[in-house]
Amino acid sequence: MTDSSAHSESLQHSRPEAEHIAHVMPMRLLVGVFLTLLVLTFATVAATWVDLEPWNLAIALAIATVKATLVALYFMHLRYDHPFNALILVTALVFLAIFLGGALTDSLQYQPEIERFQESRQP
């Protein structure tokens, strides 16, 4: 890949270049992230071939989180961005965690009662 922006058709000389506006991802880094994501996809499939109960779900989620982090940091540029954008993402995840945590705690609390009720109704 050549980076020379020889043809600057719509550009005027006085204007700033892209680097002044946002970080341009080096090609090698993009390819590296892409290949890593493919390897991790294979790893997450391979992890189901072995029985690691009760860790299988945790491993699958950990691999997914590594993949998601790579996508967010490099494909989505967060690593080079103003940190406020990362803060927005983290805010979303924090509230998602509160939502999931609350709903799970609550439903697990009354689930045994539901099961007892259903068993009592079975003939």
Partner 1 sequence: MGAFCHMANPEYQPNLAHHYQSYGQQFAAGKMGMWIFLLTEILLFGGLFCAYAVYRANHPEIFIYAHHFLDKNLGAINTAVLILSSFTMAWAVRSAQLNHRKLLMTMLSLTLLCACGFLGIKFVEYKHKWEDGLLWASRYDPVGHSEPADQAVEAPDGTEGAPPMAHGEGPRYAGIFFSIYFLMTGLHGLHVLAGMGAITWILVRAAKGHFSSVYFGPVDYVGLYWHLVDLIWIYLFPLLYLIH
Q: Would you tell me which residues interact with partner 1 (CB under 8 A)?
A: 3, 5, 7-11, 14-18, 20-22, 24-25, 27, 30-31, 33-34, 37-38, 41-42, 44-45, 47-49, 51-53, 56-57, 60-61, 63-64, 67-68, 71-72, 74-77, 81-82, 84-85, 88-89, 91-93, 95-96, 99-100, 103-104, 107-108, 111
Q: How far is the CB of 109 from partner 1 (least distance, A)?
A: 11
Whether the CB-CB separation of 78 and 86 falls below 8 Å is answered with yes
Token pair 């700033």 is at which residue?
16
Q: How far is the CB of 60 from partner 1 (least distance, A)?
A: 4
Q: How far is the CB of 117 from partner 1 (least distance, A)?
A: 14
Measuring CA to CA, which residue among 48, 49, 66 is closest to residue 57?
48
Q: Is the CB of 52 or the CB of 116 nearer to partner 1?
A: 52
Whether the bond into 16 is cis, omega within 30 of 0 = no
Long-range contacts from 96-99, C-beta under 8 angstroms, 24+ separation: none
Measuring CA to CA, which residue among 56, 80, 82, 66 is closest to residue 33?
66
Q: How far is the CB of 120 from partner 1 (least distance, A)?
A: 15
